[in-house]
Structure 1
Amino acid sequence: MRGRSLAAALALAFGATTLAVFVLVGSFLYLALEKQIKAQDDLDIVLAARHARRLAEELESPLGIREHDERLSSIVLGNAAMSMEVFDPSGNRALEHNIAASFAMPATASGAATFTTTFAALPQLKRVAAADRITEADIGEWTGRNGAPIRGILTDARLGNGETASVLVARNMSDRWRLLDQYRDKLHIAGVSGVLLSMLLGYLLIRAALRPVRDIAASASLVTVNRLNTRIAVARVPQELEALVESLNAMLARVERGFQNLSRFTADLAHDMRTPLSNMRGAAEVALARPRSVDEYESLLASNVEECDRLSRMIENVLFLARAEHPQFVKHMREFDAGQELHHIADYFEGIADEAGVRLRVSGTASVTADLELFRRAVSNLLANAIRYTPQGGEIVLDASATVDQVRVSVENPGQPIPAEHLERIFDRFYRVDPSRSALPSSGLSQGSTGSTGLGLAIVRSIMELHGGSVQAQSDAKSTRFVLTFRRGG
């Protein structure tokens, strides 16, 4: 099943974000425009009502309303949405402008309607007294004929003879609502278009931005078994992907190193297994070339048994190294006295050391937490290696010491120094410093005497890695020293 496109997912997320921004910005602009329009229209209504009341106050009698109707109606001329009615002190309509066309008052407010019927039809209106100041708070809102929204002010005006007339100034808001509706529709169109455009541009830009990822994939596809040295170029990789590329290159380097080690290990293993097999085959062919005595056949069988033992130890050590790569291999961690265990190991090797003409000496004491069997195997491999290369009459020293944060166990023997260029590689599998590959006779130790298999020091390093510790070789003209370092407390 093919996974979803990252570019498409990011483009959709980008489009959703853009839509949310457009909705917020569009709503803000719409509400701001609505508020501004309403405020401006309310101000026009208030100013018209004030002007109309001031002109009415200049009239001497109700008769002047009809005589100066043009002067009064000029206040709302030029604006087809504005309407005005003036009622004389008796409540009869004395002047009207644009009521039928724009004001769209209810039927009770048209024709021969009086102030009482008009005001009764508009209960939303608050009547402003002649002595009170007209403000935006005095504006009322109602629905006129055909459902048109109307906003207006009803105010009294004192005539020159002391009588009171009433002035109603109103504005039909239909054109404003149509304007706002058109503005809202344009915002919708602009928003949808903007979202689609942002998604398209975002998809294209994201695909362009992800091109380095595709280049990384293309470079990685070039890595094969025969081209493990291929690396991903980091020169043109964005900063955000540098860590990824460096990690991939480091992984490829580890894979290449592991493959090379595996190839070398396989070749060395084949070489070392071929030697005892060739020895057994050659000895058998010589024995079969002509009749032999019983002693000769017994000698042949004894030689073959030794070669079989050598192959068995080699296979056992290879299996141990394979199992040691599993992180759960160490299962029996416990605390014990390293000095005491060194004494036990020295006693075990005492016979072999006597045959080789070397002495063993143990010193020091320290408490260490480790797998006891693996500890014995590591020290036994080092001791067997030391006995192999210690000249007759030499002394091998096994020592245990402790500091605040670590425990050190060392095996030191005199002899020819190891060249510096070999000190790090001697822990590799099947690596030997001496080209002759001299063999040590089998010690019969289950703890790990490896003879000449070339795996003893490799096993030591694997054991120390399982314990989170390390092994180090030091060599000079005086002696060669192997040091096992355990972390304090395991």
Structure 2
Amino acid sequence: MPARALTTTLALSFAGTTLTVFALVGSTLYFTLDREIKRQDDLDIVLIARHTRRLAEELRSEDDVREHADRLTSQVLGHQALSMEIRDAGGANLVEHNTQSLADATFPAAALAGRLGASQRITERDVLEWQSARGVPARGLAADATLRDGTPVIVVIARDMTDRWRLLDRYRERLYLAGSVGMLLAFAASWLLVRESLRPLRDMAARAGAVTVERLDTPIEVDGAPRELETLVESLNAMLERLHGGFERMSQYTADLAHDMRTPLANLRGATEVALSRARSVPEYEALLESNLEECERLSRMIESVIFLARAEHPQFVTALAEFDAKEALAQIADYFEGLADDAGVNIRVTGSGRLRADKELFRRAVGNLLANALRYTPRGGEITMSVAQTASALEVTVANPGTPIDPALLERIFDRFYRADASRHSGPKSTASAGLGLAIVRTIMALHGGKASAMSDVNGTRFILSFPRR
């Protein structure tokens, strides 16, 4: 199903709202007018009935009623819709006026039987409403009156409501017309206003459509954008900035990866070409194979690290959290690196205590990378310290080693992929040569645990701190 245009949707919504308002207001006005008309007509009927009863009670007999018929009917004279009847006790008419207009809507017999007594006060509540068999609407009342000689008569006042119905019908038709025209005008005006209001969105779409991979650093700027769209513009620009940074890092990452893989491949190719340039002795071939094996191991470690980083950045990467003794885990890592430490003439010491909830394998890998890095840059005869300390909000694992301090401006960059500090600081054995991914892996592992990896360096040495949040 094709999506409806936002401009049309909003315009239809405004038009529907306008129609609803017209309907509510029109209905309120219609029913208010209907009640007011009925109230006014009922008041006229009541006043005429009261005055007619009073005049009738001043007359002596039924003959006087007939004689003064003009005086009695003067109460409804000039009102084409009003009629009057004065009947005797048997129901015969003594006086009547304009009753032919209500020939189809005579006073109901049942209501006539339940008429007001001569002593009862006539009020608007006593007015009745009825329709004839042919649907002629009427309102009226009947009340007793007593002549001076004690003869009872019946006063009947009624009003033909046909003209009122026609008036209300015309009023209702005008309301329908006004509502329909108002809805159409509201739709047209809303469509134009919404279209103009959405112009900044169209400008944003046009500018966003012009963004390409080569132009990710170009921000989206919309002149005269309303405040409601400022947040959207800022979010889009922030997204473009993140994408630009991600593409820049990916490009740099790809270039660094290619550069680092080129070195061992060049070494493999060069050594092999030299060996094949002439006949070699068995020890020379063995040395060549040993050198090639080291380069292959270096490539293997690099590829393994790249695969780990790619997997760790996937949202579905799973960590197996478990609680363990941090000092004991550090001691096991120290034992694993004991042979390399002896070759480098470095001592490893473990201090502190504390329990940690983390993925044990990832913990070992992170600390192992830090320890390998420390072995690489610790001078012979130095000591590497691995310690555990607890704070109010985290458990901190620190790997500290003496050596040439790192420039403070580089402390954050050392966690970037393929970044290496000055090669002159390297003093470790060839077997521990770095591919520039060890510290990047450490930072990724800490991010998986919701923690943070940081570094500090001064004349006393370099300290890498892993902060694991308490769970």
Identify whether the pair has TM-score above 0.5, normalized to the shorter chain: yes
Q: Is structure 2 residue 65 aligned with structure 1 residue 78?
A: no
Deviation at 1:272, TM superposition (A): 0.9
Contact 1:440 1:452 in 2 (8 A): no
Q: State how many pairs are aligned.
A: 470
Contact 1:402 1:408 in 2 (8 A): yes
Deviation at 1:383, TM superposition (A): 1.2
Q: Is structure 2 residue 468 aligned with structure 1 residue 469?
A: no
Residues 52-106 of structure 1: per-residue CA shift (max 9 Å, x gap): 2233334444333344333322211221101122346786433322122x22257
- Counterparts in 2 of 1:306-385, with a 5 A limit? 306-385=294-373
Q: 1:412 to 1:146 in 2, by over 3 A?
A: closer
- What corresponds to 1:3 in structure 2? 3
The one-letter code of the counterpart of 2:102 is F
Q: 1:439 to 1:271 in 2, by over 3 A?
A: farther
Deviation at 1:234, TM superposition (A): 6.9
The one-letter code of the counterpart of 1:316 is E
- What corresponds to 1:128 in structure 2? 116
Deviation at 1:260, TM superposition (A): 0.9
Aligned residue for 1:127, secondary structure, equals: coil
Q: 1:422 aligns with which of 402, 410, 415?
A: 410
Contact 1:417 1:476 in 2 (8 A): yes
Which stretch of structure 1 is more off in the superposition, 227-236 or 27-36?
227-236
Deviation at 1:476, TM superposition (A): 0.7
Deviation at 1:162, TM superposition (A): 4.3
Q: Structure 1 vs Structure 2: percent identity of aligned residues?
A: 59
Quote the Cα distance in structure 2 between the aligned partners of 1:341 and 1:133. Answer: 104
Quote the Cα distance in structure 2 between the aligned partners of 1:222 and 1:247. Answer: 17
Aligned residue for 1:194, secondary structure, equals: helix
The one-letter code of the counterpart of 1:326 is H
The one-letter code of the counterpart of 2:140 is G
Aligned residue for 1:150, secondary structure, equals: strand
Q: Is structure 2 residue 148 aligned with structure 1 residue 166?
A: no
Deviation at 1:245, TM superposition (A): 3.1
Quote the Cα distance in structure 2 between the aligned partners of 1:182 and 1:268. Answer: 85
Quote the Cα distance in structure 2 between the aligned partners of 1:144 and 1:377. Answer: 99
Contact 1:104 1:145 in 2 (8 A): no
- What corresponds to 1:252 in structure 2? 240
Q: 1:395 to 1:437 in 2, by over 3 A?
A: closer
Quote the Cα distance in structure 2 between the aligned partners of 1:9 and 1:375. Answer: 55
- What corresponds to 2:387 in structure 1? 399
The one-letter code of the counterpart of 2:142 is L
Q: Is structure 2 residue 436 aligned with structure 1 residue 454?
A: yes
Contact 2:264 2:295 in 1 (8 A): yes
The one-letter code of the counterpart of 1:171 is R
Quote the Cα distance in structure 1 between the aligned partners of 2:382 and 2:257. Answer: 32
Deviation at 1:122, TM superposition (A): 2.7
Deviation at 1:385, TM superposition (A): 1.1
Q: Is structure 2 residue 103 aligned with structure 1 residue 104?
A: yes
Quote the Cα distance in structure 2 between the aligned partners of 1:307 and 1:46. Answer: 116
Quote the Cα distance in structure 1 between the aligned partners of 2:427 and 2:345. Answer: 17
Q: 1:62 to 1:258 in 2, by over 3 A?
A: same
The one-letter code of the counterpart of 1:104 is A
Contact 2:85 2:97 in 1 (8 A): yes
Which stretch of structure 1 is more off in the superposition, 62-71 or 171-180?
62-71
- What corresponds to 1:202 in structure 2? 190
Which stretch of structure 1 is more off in the superposition, 173-182 or 45-54?
45-54
- What corresponds to 1:153 in structure 2? 141
Quote the Cα distance in structure 2 between the aligned partners of 1:90 and 1:289. Answer: 147
Quote the Cα distance in structure 2 between the aligned partners of 1:143 and 1:276. Answer: 108
The one-letter code of the counterpart of 1:153 is L
Aligned residue for 1:468, secondary structure, equals: coil
Which stretch of structure 1 is more off in the superposition, 9-18 or 356-365?
9-18
Residues 324-381 of structure 1: per-residue CA shift (max 9 Å, x gap): 1124434332222221222222222222222222222221122112222221211111
Aligned residue for 1:128, secondary structure, equals: coil
Contact 2:14 2:190 in 1 (8 A): yes
Contact 1:152 1:168 in 2 (8 A): yes
Aligned residue for 2:367, secondary structure, equals: helix
Quote the Cα distance in structure 1 between the aligned partners of 2:120 and 2:333. Answer: 115
The one-letter code of the counterpart of 1:9 is T
The one-letter code of the counterpart of 2:103 is A
Aligned residue for 1:363, secondary structure, equals: strand
Quote the Cα distance in structure 1 between the aligned partners of 2:355 and 2:42. Answer: 94
The one-letter code of the counterpart of 1:378 is A
Deviation at 1:6, TM superposition (A): 3.0
Query: What is the TM-score normalised by the length of structure 1?
Result: 0.87
- What corresponds to 2:229 in structure 1? 241
Gaps of 5+ in 2: none
Which stretch of structure 1 is more off in the superposition, 195-204 or 275-284?
195-204
Aligned residue for 1:134, secondary structure, equals: coil
Deviation at 1:483, TM superposition (A): 0.7
Contact 2:399 2:463 in 1 (8 A): yes
Q: 2:178 aligns with which of 190, 194, 213?
A: 190
- What corresponds to 1:39 in structure 2? 39
Deviation at 1:467, TM superposition (A): 1.4
Q: 1:338 to 1:156 in 2, by over 3 A?
A: closer
Deviation at 1:161, TM superposition (A): 4.4
Quote the Cα distance in structure 1 between the aligned partners of 2:281 and 2:126. Answer: 137
- What corresponds to 1:112 in structure 2? none
Q: Is structure 2 residue 462 aligned with structure 1 residue 480?
A: yes
Quote the Cα distance in structure 2 between the aligned partners of 1:176 and 1:304. Answer: 110
Deviation at 1:323, TM superposition (A): 1.4
Contact 1:330 1:466 in 2 (8 A): no
Deviation at 1:389, TM superposition (A): 1.2
Q: 1:399 to 1:89 in 2, by over 3 A?
A: closer
Which stretch of structure 1 is more off in the superposition, 225-234 or 73-82?
225-234
